[in-house]
């Protein structure tokens, strides 16, 4: 009998006060997140679960290293291979800026000069994100097959 009275009370309470039930439910969810979920997330962040041990240290500032130069060369070679064979392109000698994110991930910002059908030169600025897949093993840096082009922007049609 008591279970029937409790069920009747809850149904009537839910019908008459849905906002209070919603607020109580949200409060319970917030409490659960603060006391259970966030401490677990904090422990995972503190652990070494996402730590990658690499000789390549990242930098917040643009850098000019041998690896950024090789990354620049591979970006240029990829662009040249993807453009029409009739297109005339000229690459800059060095990138405008290049960043090493660490763990052999690079971002290259550079200019390219592309001649259209009429011979008019247009300068395009592009950004290339590229990763060296072999990590600390530097033997294959000149082989494009050991690199992954993550993204390229700034050049139409690629």
**73 assigned to some structural domain:** yes
Domain that holds residue 20: 2-46
Please return the burial class of 99, using the count of CB atoms within 10 Å of its CB with bins 0-12, 13-18 and 19+. buried
**53 assigned to some structural domain:** no
CATH number of domain containing 99: 3.10.450
Both 74 and 147 in one domain: the answer is: yes
Both 25 and 76 in one domain: the answer is: no
Residue pLDDT tens, the chain, 158 long? 455 666 766 777 777 888 888 898 999 999 999 999 999 998 888 887 776 667 777 778 888 889 999 999 999 999 988 887 777 888 999 999 999 988 889 999 999 988 877 778 888 899 999 999 988 888 888 999 999 999 999 887 66
Provide the 10 A C-beta neighbour count for residue 85: 6
Nearest to 144 by CA among 80, 54, 69, 75: 75
Q: Is the pTM of this model over 0.75?
A: no
Both 85 and 128 in one domain: the answer is: yes
Number of domains present in the structure of the chain: 2
Both 70 and 120 in one domain: the answer is: yes
d(CA 112, CA 131): 21
**94 assigned to some structural domain:** yes
Both 90 and 133 in one domain: the answer is: yes
Both 15 and 82 in one domain: the answer is: no
Under 8 Å between Cβ of 127 and 108: yes
**147 assigned to some structural domain:** yes
d(CA 24, CA 52): 43
Nearest to 111 by CA among 101, 98, 99, 125: 125
d(CA 92, CA 111): 6
């Amino acid at each position: 009998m008591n279970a029937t009275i409790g069920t009747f009370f809850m149904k009537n309470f839910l019908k008459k006060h849905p906002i209070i039930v919603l607020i109580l439910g949200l409060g319970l969810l917030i409490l659960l997140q603060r006391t259970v979920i966030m401490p677990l997330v904090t422990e995972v962040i503190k652990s070494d679960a996402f730590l990658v041990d690499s000789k390549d240290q990242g930098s917040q500032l643009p850098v000019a290293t041998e690896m950024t130069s090789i990354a620049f060369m591979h970006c240029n070679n990829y662009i040249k291979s993807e453009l029409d064979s009739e297109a005339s392109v000229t690459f800059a000698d060095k990138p405008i800026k290049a960043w090493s994110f660490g763990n052999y991930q690079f971002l290259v910002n550079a200019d390219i000069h592309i001649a259209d059908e009429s011979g008019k030169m247009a300068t395009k600025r592009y950004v290339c994100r590229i990763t060296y897949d072999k990590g600390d093993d530097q033997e294959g840096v000149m082989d494009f097959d050991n690199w992954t082009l993550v993204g390229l922007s700034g050049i139409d049609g690629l």
